[in-house]
Amino acid sequence: TVIVVDYGSDDAQVLSRRIREAKVYSEVYSYTASADTILAARPAALVIAARSSAAEDVAVVDPKLLEADIPVLAVGGGFTAVSKALGASVRQADTPLAGTVQLENIDDNATLFSGQPTSQDVAVNHAHVVTEAAAGFVVTASHADMPVAAAEDAKAQVYGVAWNPGTADSPHGQSVIKNFLFIAADLAPDWSVDLVIDQQIAKIREQIGDKRALVGLSGGVDSAVAAALVQRAVGDQLTAVYVNHGLMRKDESVEIERAFGASTGGAKLVMVDAEDEFLSALHGVSDPEEKRKIIGERFIRTFEQAQADIVAASAHDPDATDVQFLVQGTVYPDVIESGDADGSKVIKSHHNVGGLPEDLEFELVEPLRQLFKDEVREVGTQLGLPDEIVWRQPFPGPGLGIRIVGAISKQRLDLLREADAIVREELTASGLDREIWQSPVVLLADVRSVGVNEGGRTYGHPVVLRPVVSEDAMTARFARIPYDILDRISQRITAEVDGINRVVLDITGKPPGTIEWE
């Protein structure tokens, strides 16, 4: 394992993913974990990432990490921090460096730059610079604004670059990372998603034994892939529960049934149709937080009822053993962000409406805990799940309920479902759907505008297209969809969805906008 030690940077997860892309397993630890904890995990190499801002001092790196006889790659603010810990001269930059910088004199004899051009663009974001390298280091790149832009001490096994090699804005960054892994640290590229599948199947079999397990399918990628993995491991000892709350997208329930229904011969699937209950509980409610609360509570109650029914049914079945396990699609970013991983920082508490109560008396099975989203998709594909599920965009637990500005009704949901299906169809047809993180369609149910159709006046609702690109939903940019595709979407929606006579495009970033409108 290569451990990325994170001193509050924005780059740690991305670096960890890039290392895995090079087929070396990697995890993120927060600096709040002690050096002893980190070293006890026996890392094969360390990557040090740190934030560097003008308002704060340079991060303090525990020298124990640097003296453990383990290869170290220090990047960005982590380079300044490691350099300082080893005795280099470091000062605040005259103006903080942010954006792309062109380096002209990269030493291609250096370990990290072997096989690379001597001139490269690199992505920088730091407020401190190294002016003189620590004793024992060779300076391997420099720049007018960064006297020491890269340095290495092969004897001490410490290597550093003052930029972030994990982003696409550093075009040779992945090569820097690979040179560190395969030359400096002499590691082998032997990790893969296939390996994870085999390991997890063995682990799930051991954990569940001959007992039974439940999984709640939300319609999302993570729960579907977790379910497929457990199904592969224990077959019909798994029962999948799918609650249709009536706020799903068009055909969603059908696709779930197709992927997990009787025809797959695996898990048992229980479809709970709770549309009427949800819609009557939501009648007349337009406040977004109140909608979330109602949907969340009702979801828990519905799931608990389904669970009680399943447990009761198994009590009459002499062959069935207890339902003791609950499968959840927790993924690695959730683990890091909720502070569950060893010493990792708490970024946000997960407000997973549509999630499950904490007091369920189950042992959790979480086979995706170590995987990033793209890896989860790869597992899903390997397990034979259809593209419609594996490449499904993230979808909020409260579903279309928070994409209707105004009160929710079946008729409004149907309008939105039709418009949303057209957007998904066109984006899939254009091949853009995999680049786009999410493309919510929002019905402005409380707004009406005048239009004209075949010579007659219309008075309908607008829908808003909200396509965004993002790495993790924490920040986002509006997706640059070509005008001819937008045109086709607009024409189809206004022609095919009776009641919608206007299509508008949301071009707000996050921040300041959120992805969803409610």
- For the annotated binding site for ATP, the residues are 218-224
CB-wise, 71 or 399, nearer to ligand XMP?
399
Question: Do residues 122 and 100 lie in contact, with contact meaning Cβ atoms separated by under 8 Å?
Answer: yes
CB of 437 to ligand XMP, least distance (A): 8
Stretch in the footprint of ligand XMP (CB under 6 A) among 23-31, 47-55, 166-174, 510-518: 510-518
Does 514 engage in binding with ligand XMP (CB under 6 A)?
A: yes
CA atoms within 13 A on the CB side of 515: 21
Instruction: Give how many residues touch ligand XMP by CB under 6 A.
Output: 15
User: Considering only CA atoms, which of 195, 165, 163, 196 is closest in space to residue 180?
Assistant: 165
How far apart CA 496 and CA 443 sit, in angstroms, is 15
CB of 347 to ligand XMP, least distance (A): 13
CB of 216 to ligand XMP, least distance (A): 13
Exactly one of 292, 369, 377, 403 binds ligand XMP (CB under 6 A); that residue is 292
How far apart CA 229 and CA 193 sit, in angstroms, is 12
Count, residues in the chain? 518
Does 424 engage in binding with ligand XMP (CB under 6 A)?
A: no
CB of 510 to ligand XMP, least distance (A): 5
What would the x/- binding string for ligand XMP be over residues 337 to 376, using CB under 6 A? --------------xxxx----------------------
Does 396 engage in binding with ligand XMP (CB under 6 A)?
A: yes
Does 397 engage in binding with ligand XMP (CB under 6 A)?
A: yes
How far apart CA 506 and CA 511 sit, in angstroms, is 13
Evaluated on CA atoms 222, 224, 225, 227, the torsion sign reads positive
How far apart CA 131 and CA 36 sit, in angstroms, is 31
What would the x/- binding string for ligand XMP be over residues 71 to 100, using CB under 6 A? ------------------------------
User: Considering only CA atoms, which of 71, 54, 74, 64 is closest in space to residue 7?
Assistant: 74
Provide the residue type at 285 as one letter: V
- Residue entry with tokens 């337009």: 286
CB of 518 to ligand XMP, least distance (A): 8
Exactly one of 171, 394, 451, 462 binds ligand XMP (CB under 6 A); that residue is 394
The token duo for 55 is 């308002």
Does 221 engage in binding with ligand XMP (CB under 6 A)?
A: no
Question: Do residues 164 and 76 lie in contact, with contact meaning Cβ atoms separated by under 8 Å?
Answer: yes
Does 219 engage in binding with ligand XMP (CB under 6 A)?
A: no
Stretch in the footprint of ligand XMP (CB under 6 A) among 41-49, 395-403, 413-421, 424-432: 395-403
In the three-class reduction of DSSP (H, G, I as helix; E, B as strand; rest coil), residue 102 is classed as: strand
153, with CB counted inside 10 A (0-12, 13-18, 19+), is middle
Does 438 engage in binding with ligand XMP (CB under 6 A)?
A: yes
CB-wise, 265 or 512, nearer to ligand XMP?
512
Question: Do residues 399 and 242 lie in contact, with contact meaning Cβ atoms separated by under 8 Å?
Answer: no
Helices (H), 22-134: 35-40, 63-66, 77-85
Does 475 engage in binding with ligand XMP (CB under 6 A)?
A: no
CA atoms within 13 A on the CB side of 134: 17
Considering only residues 482 to 501 of the shown chain, the ones binding ligand XMP according to CB under 6 A are none
Considering only residues 163 to 192 of the shown chain, the ones binding ligand XMP according to CB under 6 A are none
CB of 506 to ligand XMP, least distance (A): 12
The token duo for 85 is 């810990």
CB-wise, 107 or 222, nearer to ligand XMP?
222
**Positions in the binding site for ligand XMP (CB under 6 A):** 292, 351-354, 394, 396-398, 438, 473, 510, 514-516
